[in-house]
Amino acid sequence: MSVLLSTLSEDGVRGVFRRIHKSQSLWWYSRRGRKLNYQFGWQSEHPVLVIESDDWGAERVPGPDVIREMQGTGFYPKNLTAVCDGIERPNDVDRLCDVLNSHKDSGRNPAVITANFVMANPDFLAIRESNYSVFKAKIIDEGWNHEQDSAALWQSYRNGFRSGLIVPQLHGMLHFCPDEWLRKLRQGDAVSLKAFSLQMIGEREDIASVGREGMGAIYHVEAEAINRLVEEGLGAFKRVFGMDSITTIAPCYAWRSPETEEALLLQRIRVMQGREYQILPGWKMKAHYLGERGPGGTLYLVRNCLLEPVDAMTTVEQCIAQIEESFRSGLPAIICSHRMNYSSRVSTKFRDKGLSTLDGVLKQITKEFPDVEFLSSDKLALRILEED
């Protein structure tokens, strides 16, 4: 009720009905996708566990000082994603690797996390100097606005890559639409300007991060722009990580079809990670299932388990129940677990909660399913494609 009253006071009756419609659409298409997944989804002969984690490399919230300033200005966001999601620190990556390495599958391989990287962040100084007329990006190997010890962070990344505990994949060049953002800034939008002064991307409904609507739907632009975004993103990924990305995932699960799949295929990306639903332009939706082929033969991987202890308050028991349901149906358990659960940029409390929950899930799964196999998203995708 408090959320409805807040929305009513800010956006009026239309805002209330718009949010209700979105919520109902997500619920319906999530259920539809889950049903399709259990009917037609690709099956494995033995239990397979995949952990997919988005937003690595994205800066989002600079730190706790900014949160305190937001609280004093009335621009405080309404959700935990906006408050907790900041660039990971070297120790965050090291501790995550320690948890993953402490659990082995039936082949004595450690648990692995597929880390989907955002390749660039805004260069706030350059954008301000252009009077918000030109967007400038800072590729993650050039450093971050808020992480001074970039060398140490990259060393932690490399340790995780070499040990096979972290497998990088492409989330996208950016996680938001820069043209829309600059337009808001030039128009003098108060929330956007305040967020910019704090070196954050902001929009009306979610100041500290981008939502599914507007700036979040980066692949809802025209085909030519999608082609450019995909080409730039994959080019940056290959330069930074020295490898091609086998899979990718559209920010906020929002992309235009078939334009996005066609752009990805041009860059030899045949696999899209995602949820049970796809958000199309105009808040239209489509359900998907694991192993489904999209335009041009694009393979869809579909997440069917949730491990979001910070944002969604997921417990060990809840995640285990979803994994068990997947295994009983012969499906791989593909876990959705965002970077924010493992970052201490804003609070070590939330990071420690995320690591503890992940540790509890892996501990119980290896005990309950001793024949489980840990795979990264690219390895699962290649296994499915080999069966064609």
pLDDT bucket at 8, cuts 50 / 70 / 90: very low
- pLDDT class of 180 with cuts at 50, 70, 90: confident
Q: What is the mean pLDDT of residues 255-260?
A: 97
Separation CA 292–CA 290 (nearest Å): 6
Residue 62 reports pLDDT greater than 90: no
The pLDDT of residue 16 is 45
Residue 71 has pLDDT above 50, yes or no: yes
Q: Where are the beta strands (DSSP E) in the chain?
A: 48-56, 113-118, 120-122, 137-139, 166-172, 247-249, 271-273, 277-280, 284-287, 299-300, 305-306, 333-336, 373-375
Average of per-residue pLDDT across 283-289: 93
Whole-number Cα distances in Å, 88 to 35, 53, 91, 288: 35, 13, 8, 31
Q: What is the pLDDT of residues 290-321, one digit of tens each?
A: 999 999 999 999 999 999 999 889 999 999 99
- For residue 205, the model assigns a pLDDT of 44
pTM: 0.92
- Percent with pLDDT over 70 in the chain: 88
Six token digits for residue 85? 């999601």
Residues 6+ apart with CB under 8 A from 24: none
Residue 95 belongs to what domain range? 2-386
For the cut 50, the answer to whether the pLDDT of residue 250 exceeds it is yes
Residue 106, pLDDT score:
97
Determine the pLDDT at residue 74.
65
CA atoms within 13 A on the CB side of 87: 23
Q: Give the per-residue pLDDT at 208.
A: 38
The pLDDT value recorded for residue 64 is 84
Task: Report the pLDDT value the prediction gives residue 7, as an integer from 0 to 100.
Answer: 38
Kindly state the average pLDDT of the residues 117-143: 96
Q: Dig out the tokens for 381 from the structure.
A: 């995708």
pLDDT at 195: 84
More confident residue, 103 or 15: 103
pLDDT at 75: 64
Q: What is the average per-residue pLDDT within 322-348?
A: 96
Q: Please tell me the predicted confidence (pLDDT) of residue 214.
A: 60
Look at residue 142 in the predicted model and tell me its pLDDT.
93
Answer with the residue of higher pLDDT: 372 or 180.
372
Tell me what pLDDT residue 10 has.
Answer: 46
pLDDT at position 164 is 97
Range 120-135 average pLDDT: 96
**Higher-scoring residue by pLDDT: 70, 18:** 70
| pLDDT surpasses 60 at 168 | yes
Q: Residue 120: which of 144, 97, 93 has the closest Cα? A: 144
How many structural domains compose the chain? 1
Contacts of 247 (CB under 8 A, 6+ apart): 114, 169, 170, 269, 271, 272, 273, 301, 377, 378, 381
Tell me the mean pLDDT in the region 193-204.
79
Token representation of residue 8 = 């009513």
Give the C-alpha distances (Å, rounded to integers) separating 61 from 27, 68, 152, 321, 335: 29, 12, 20, 32, 24
What CATH number should be reported for the domain holding residue 315? 3.20.20.370
Within 8 A by CB and 6+ apart from 357, the residues are: 307, 309, 314, 315, 316, 319, 341
Residue 249 pLDDT class (50, 70, 90 cuts): very high
Lowest-confidence segment of 74-83, 257-266, 275-284, 315-324 by average pLDDT:
74-83
Q: What pLDDT does 19 receive?
A: 59
pLDDT at 82: 62
pLDDT band at 209, cuts 50/70/90? very low
pLDDT (mean) for 28-52? 94
